[in-house]
């Protein structure tokens, strides 16, 4: 008997009409992957400039970056009508890391130099979505908005094991844009969302980088 009720319930869910909402509030959560577009060459140039300012020169060196990781966000939105929605969100864009090692010399002696820079960003967003239905359940959309970033950077430099560190913070307002596709079933919508956050950070304090973000979102509509 329980099995019959379970099968009947699945049948009802399967035949529930998939109709996208015309208007109203919704909340959602997303998770996925971010990717920073670090300027490794520019960072190498900054290290070289610091070395030259100290009266040294680089004999040999290498560098590497870590630019990808896990990202998540929570958001609330309002469907103004079928083709337009507005959203407010909080997103965590994770962090990116740059590391370099070099042998430096003053012409007589050599020393091992290492540097590590870590930048991270998170904050609220406000965006507008233009929506194009492609059936009773499917839709594609484009997004444009503003990212209010809280940006932090930390750096550590060591010469022959003697190290020094500093950190800095800044806030910025940057453009974000994106595209995506959604599927609605009853009060739930699943989305695959791509966003790009342009020039994240502060050029003078933390440096700037574009951040790409792709995430899968689940939305509940009231």
Q: Give the CATH number for residue 131.
A: 2.40.160.20
User: Is residue 126 in a domain?
Assistant: yes
- Give per-residue pLDDT as tens, 61-78: 899 999 999 999 999 999
Range of the domain at 178: 23-221
| Residue with token string 């959560």 | 29
Query: What is the reported pLDDT for 24?
Result: 94
Which band of pLDDT confidence, cut at 50, 70 and 90, is reported for residue 15? very low
Query: What is the reported pLDDT for 205?
Result: 58
User: Is residue 201 in a domain?
Assistant: yes
User: Is residue 200 in a domain?
Assistant: yes
Q: Tell me the average pLDDT across 40-63.
A: 86
The structural domain count of the chain equals 1
pTM: 0.82
Q: Which residues of 27-64 are buried (b: 16+ CB within 10 A; e: fewer)?
A: ebebebebbbebeeeebbebbbeebeeeebebeebeee
Considering only 26-30, 84-88, 165-169, which range has the smallest mean pLDDT? Answer: 165-169
User: Is residue 4 in a domain?
Assistant: no
Q: Tell me the average pLDDT across 26-38.
A: 96
User: Is residue 181 in a domain?
Assistant: yes
DSSP H helical segments within 16-54, as ranges?
A: 40-53
């Amino acid at each position: 008997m329980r099995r019959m009720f379970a099968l009947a319930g699945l049948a009802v869910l399967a035949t529930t009409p998939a109709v996208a909402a015309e208007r109203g509030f919704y909340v959602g959560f997303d998770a996925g992957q971010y990717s920073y577009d670090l300027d490794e060459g520019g960072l190498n140039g900054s290290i070289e400039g610091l070395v030259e300012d100290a009266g040294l020169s680089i004999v040999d060196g290498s560098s590497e970056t870590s630019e990808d990781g896990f990202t998540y966000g929570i958001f609330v939105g309002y469907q103004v009508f079928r083709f337009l929605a507005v959203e407010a969100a909080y997103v965590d864009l994770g962090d990116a890391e740059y590391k370099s090692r070099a042998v430096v010399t003053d012409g007589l002696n050599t020393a091992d130099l290492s540097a590590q820079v870590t930048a991270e960003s998170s904050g609220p967003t406000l965006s507008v979505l233009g929506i194009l239905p492609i059936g009773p359940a499917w839709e594609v959309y484009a997004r444009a908005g503003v990212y209010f970033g809280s940006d932090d950077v930390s750096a550590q430099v060591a010469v022959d094991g003697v190290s020094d560190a500093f950190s800095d913070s800044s806030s910025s307002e940057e453009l974000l844009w994106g595209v995506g596709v959604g599927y609605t079933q009853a009060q739930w919508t699943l989305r695959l969302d791509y966003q790009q956050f342009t020039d994240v950070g502060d050029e003078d304090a933390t440096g700037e980088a574009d951040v790409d973000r792709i995430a899968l979102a689940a939305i509940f509509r009231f």
